[in-house]
């Protein structure tokens, strides 16, 4: 068993089966690097994860610890200056399983908890969890107006009117097709 | 006892060091995303998420909405642009046509499969062409039509790494005086995965240095290549060179493996093509196993046409000398119809036909007639604004 500690003061500790915790690529790599140390006696501090989020993470990894490992694809680093042709490498379709639908904090008042969960899944490199969380957010904002999306995501319009006008011209072309 | 205390102290120190190491490791990983003390209201907003989850959310959106999401905020716009290669793109086939009237403005038109115009825009000075196509996957046909539509600045924009351009046909029929080898080559490299037919169709100012085997070779394996400089039809005789096209046997030979039912190599004014190159082509074409297999499996005839018009080293006599044992000669004379349907006297035409055991046919001709050529009419030919200013 492995102990994980939240970033709270005082930290909240969770004990998790090693198999489950290794769904996190970050922790798995860390454990492999520290092979030989008695990790069962050494709590692993997670400075970016608070207790409620860590509780969700633990619940998710315990539920999915027996899942077949996801197929790893090398991550394509996007960069305008990169000449590699990656445009056929589209993201595979992600379907949110029933258990996960109930698990995700999807109520509007839990929105911030969902974003914290995405952040933690990203930090701990739990790709399947990150995928389903991102898919949920994408489904939520799909088909909505720009204003609705800004409101849902608590984002501010930081464009100048001139920038918006230019952008509108570029985008109008794609929308007309 | 002292030894025991020393041992405990050492173990305690190791334990402390391990804790620090673990903490450092965590922070090192986090360092790419978030570092330092976390505020009380940490992650109160979605926008405070690191790039990766944001990118992932955007990738799951429908292609149409991805472009709209650029309006949300500067950060969204930056992210979407940065990741545009892997963002969902709208799939578009049909035809894209570029025109640049001599006033300098570039007009872009999009046509559907039936050549009906879907969209037309004339680029404002501060809108980059590559931005129009950033979230569209372009397939089908690309026409560089009137004026300087294939000038370097246009080709350079279309060669940007983030664009997805997958045409099977590219036609250059404008003025190529402002087109450089480097820009043309970069563009052909960009379209190489899908392009099968490349046409320089009545193009103006094809400079001697513009086309060469290595530039055409950048397009990869082609099934059709046509190079007709504008004015070729009015040339008086074989010595009246309109444009000295610098294409040689290497380009010809590379097309011997064309896998289509119909393939063609039609050139004017190419002094680099030699009868020896034509013989090598015929021998390679006849041995082409893939084509042979295709020919056996289908009922229609696989046809390959080589047309050499006013090519200094390629005449019926030189071809017969070099390849006569592989070819059968035919001649035609009499009257024919021009493109307007009028009867015209036809000078004697010589053609050579390769002897091939399967239902494949290779013809070598020495005359270019518009109604025999694989001309491709650009879409929207009858538009009211098709003429230049």
Which residues of chain A have a CB within 8 Å of the CB of B88?
90-91
Confidence of residue A177 (pLDDT cuts 50, 70, 90): low
Whether A134 and B57 lie within 8 Å, measured CB to CB? yes
The upper half-sphere exposure of residue B2, i.e. CA atoms within 13 Å in the direction of its Cβ, equals 0
Among B23, B30, B60, which would you mutate to test the A interface (most chain A Cβ atoms within 10 Å of its Cβ)? B60
Domains of chain A: 1-65+94-142 (3.30.710.10), 146-177 (no CATH)
Confidence of residue A83 (pLDDT cuts 50, 70, 90): very low
Whether A169 and B18 lie within 8 Å, measured CB to CB? no
Whether B49 and A149 lie within 8 Å, measured CB to CB? no
Whether B85 and A82 lie within 8 Å, measured CB to CB? yes
Q: What integer pLDDT is reported at residue B31 of this predicted model?
A: 38
Print pLDDT tens along chain B (389 aa).
Answer: 555 565 555 555 555 544 544 555 455 444 334 344 444 444 455 666 788 888 888 888 888 788 888 889 888 888 888 887 777 777 778 899 999 876 678 888 889 888 888 888 888 766 678 877 877 888 899 999 988 899 998 999 999 887 889 999 999 999 999 999 999 999 999 999 999 999 999 898 888 788 989 999 999 989 899 998 887 666 555 555 566 788 889 999 888 876 566 788 998 888 889 999 999 998 888 877 555 566 566 666 778 889 998 888 888 899 999 988 888 888 876 666 665 666 666 666 788 988 676 677 888 988 766 556 678 888 877 665 554 44
**What 3-state DSSP class applies to A5?**
strand
Round to whole Å and give the CA distance between A123 and A120.
5
Choose between A89 and B66: higher pLDDT. B66
A87: pLDDT strictly greater than 50? no
The ipTM (two decimal places) reads 0.84
Pick from B60, B89, B119: which is nearest to A94 by CB?
Answer: B60
pTM of the model: 0.72
Q: What integer pLDDT is reported at residue B173 of this predicted model?
A: 92
3-state helix/strand/coil string of chain B:
CHHHHHHHHHHHHHHHHHHHHHHHHHHHHHCCCCCCCCCCCCCCCHHHCCHHHHHHHHHCCCHHHHHHHHHCCHHHHHHHHHCCCCCCCEEECCEEEEEECCCCCEEEEEECCCCCEEEEEECCCCCCHHHHCCCEEEEEEEEEEEECCCCHHHHHHHCCCCCEEEEEEEEECCECCCCCHHHHHHHHHHHCCCCCEEEEEEEECCCCCCCCHHHHHCCCCCCEEEEEECCHHHCCCCCCCCCCCCCEHHHHHHHHHCCCCEEEEEEECCCECCHHHHHHHHHHHHHCHHHHHHHHHCCCCEEEEEEEECCCCCCHHHHHHHHHHHEEEEEEEEEEECCCCCEEEEEEEEEEEECCCCCEEEEEECCCCCCCCCCCCCCCCCCCCCCCC
Quickly list DSSP for A14-77: EEE-HHHHTTSHHHHHHHHHTBTB-GGGS-EE-TT--HHHHHHHHHHHHHHTTSPPPPP-PPPP
Q: What integer pLDDT is reported at residue B378 of this predicted model?
A: 86
DSSP-derived secondary structure letter, A86: -
Residue ranges of B 38-97 with Cβ closer than 8 A to chain A? 38, 42-50, 52-53, 55-62, 64-65, 67-74, 76-77, 81-86, 88-90, 92
Q: Does residue B25 sit at the A interface (CB-CB below 8 Å)? A: yes
Tokens of B254: 């590379």
Confidence of residue A163 (pLDDT cuts 50, 70, 90): confident
Q: What integer pLDDT is reported at residue B261 of this predicted model?
A: 62
Round to whole Å and give the CA distance between A94 and A128.
9
Give residue-wise pLDDT tens across range A136-153. 999 998 889 999 998 888
Which residues of chain B have a CB within 8 Å of the CB of A130?
52-53, 56
Q: What integer pLDDT is reported at residue B159 of this predicted model?
A: 92
The upper half-sphere exposure of residue B326, i.e. CA atoms within 13 Å in the direction of its Cβ, equals 22
Round to whole Å and give the CA distance between A15 and A41.
11
Distance from A132 to chain B by nearest Cα, in Å? 10
Q: What integer pLDDT is reported at residue A60 of this predicted model?
A: 94
- Phi, psi angles (nearest 5°) of residue B300: -80, 165
**What 3-state DSSP class applies to A159?**
coil
Distance from B130 to chain A by nearest Cα, in Å? 10
Q: What integer pLDDT is reported at residue A53 of this predicted model?
A: 92
Q: Give the lowest-confidence range in A89-103, A118-132, B229-243.
A: B229-243
Round to whole Å and give the CA distance between A13 and A82.
43
Whether B29 and A26 lie within 8 Å, measured CB to CB? yes
Distance from A66 to chain B by nearest Cα, in Å? 25
Which residues of chain B have a CB within 8 Å of the CB of A4?
none
Which residues of chain A have a CB within 8 Å of the CB of B59?
91, 134, 138
Q: What integer pLDDT is reported at residue B185 of this predicted model?
A: 95
Whether A87 and B86 lie within 8 Å, measured CB to CB? yes
Confidence of residue A86 (pLDDT cuts 50, 70, 90): very low
Pick from A45, A118, A177: which is nearest to B118 by CB?
Answer: A177
Long-range pairs for B152-156: beta carbons < 8 A, 24 or more residues apart: B152/B178, B152/B179, B152/B180, B152/B183, B154/B98, B154/B100, B154/B106, B154/B129, B155/B179, B155/B183, B155/B184, B155/B186, B155/B187, B156/B183, B156/B186
Give residue-wise pLDDT tens across range A25-80. 888 888 888 776 777 777 888 888 888 999 999 999 999 988 887 766 655 555 55
Round to whole Å and give the CA distance between B150 and B144.
6
Instruction: Tell me what percent of the residues of chain A surpass a pLDDT of 70.
Output: 84
Residue A163: enclosing H or E segment and its boundaries?
Answer: helix A161-176
């Amino acid at each position: 068993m492995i102990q994980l500690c939240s970033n709270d003061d005082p930290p909240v500790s969770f004990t998790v089966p090693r198999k489950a915790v290794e769904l996190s690529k970050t922790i798995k790599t860390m454990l492999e690097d520290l092979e030989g140390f008695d990790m069962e006696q050494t709590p692993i501090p997670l400075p970016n994860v608070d207790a409620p989020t860590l509780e969700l993470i633990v619940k998710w990894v315990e539920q999915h610890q027996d899942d077949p490992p996801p197929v790893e694809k090398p991550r394509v680093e996007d960069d305008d200056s990169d000449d590699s042709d990656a445009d056929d490498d589209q993201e595979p379709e992600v379907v949110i399983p029933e258990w996960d639908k109930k698990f995700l904090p999807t109520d509007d008042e839990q929105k911030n908890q969902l974003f914290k969960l995405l952040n933690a899944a990203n930090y701990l490199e739990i790709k399947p969890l990150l995928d389903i969380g991102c898919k949920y957010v994408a489904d939520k904002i799909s088909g909505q107006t720009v204003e609705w999306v800004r409101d849902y995501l608590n984002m501010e319009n930081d464009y100048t009117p001139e920038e918006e006008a230019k952008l509108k011209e570029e985008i109008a072309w794609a929308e007309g097709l | 006892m002292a030894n025991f205390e020393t041992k405990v102290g050492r173990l305690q120190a190791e334990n402390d060091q391990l804790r620090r190491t673990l903490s450092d490791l965590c922070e090192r990983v986090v360092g790419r995303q978030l570092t330092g003390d976390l505020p009380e209201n940490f992650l109160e907003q979605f926008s405070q998420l690191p790039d990766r989850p944001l990118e992932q959310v955007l990738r799951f959106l429908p292609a149409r909405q991805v472009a709209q999401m650029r309006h949300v905020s500067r950060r969204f716009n930056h992210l979407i642009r940065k990741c545009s290669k892997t963002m969902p793109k709208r799939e578009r086939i049909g035809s894209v046509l570029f025109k640049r009237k001599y006033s300098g403005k570039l007009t872009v038109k999009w046509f559907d499969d039936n050549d009906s115009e879907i969209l037309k825009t004339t680029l404002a000075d501060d809108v980059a062409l590559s931005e129009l196509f950033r979230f569209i996957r372009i397939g089908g046909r690309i026409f560089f039509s009137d004026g300087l539509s294939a000038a370097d600045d246009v080709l350079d924009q279309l060669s940007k790494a983030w664009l997805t351009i997958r045409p099977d046909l590219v036609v250059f029929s404008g003025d190529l005086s402002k087109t450089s080898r480097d820009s043309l080559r970069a563009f052909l490299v960009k379209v190489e995965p899908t392009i099968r037919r490349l046409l320089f169709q009545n193009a103006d100012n094809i400079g001697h240095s513009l086309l060469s085997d290595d530039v055409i070779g950048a397009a990869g394996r082609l099934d059709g290549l046509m190079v007709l400089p504008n004015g070729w039809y009015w040339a008086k005789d074989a010595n009246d060179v309109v444009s000295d096209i610098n294409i040689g046997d290497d380009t010809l030979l590379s097309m011997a493996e064309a896998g289509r039912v119909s393939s063609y190599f039609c050139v004017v004014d190419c002094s680099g093509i030699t009868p020896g190159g034509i013989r090598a082509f015929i021998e390679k074409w006849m041995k082409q196993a893939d084509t042979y297999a295709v020919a056996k499996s289908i009922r229609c005839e696989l046809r390959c046409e080589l047309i050499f018009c006013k090519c200094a080293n390629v005449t019926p006599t030189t071809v017969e000398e070099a390849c006569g044992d592989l070819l059968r000669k035919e001649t035609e004379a009499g009257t024919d119809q021009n493109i307007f349907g009028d009867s015209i006297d036809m000078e004697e035409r010589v053609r050579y036909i390769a002897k091939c055991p399967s239902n494949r046919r290779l013809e070598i001709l020495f005359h270019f007639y518009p109604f025999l050529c694989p001309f491709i009419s650009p879409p929207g030919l009858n538009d009211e604004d098709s003429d230049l200013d």
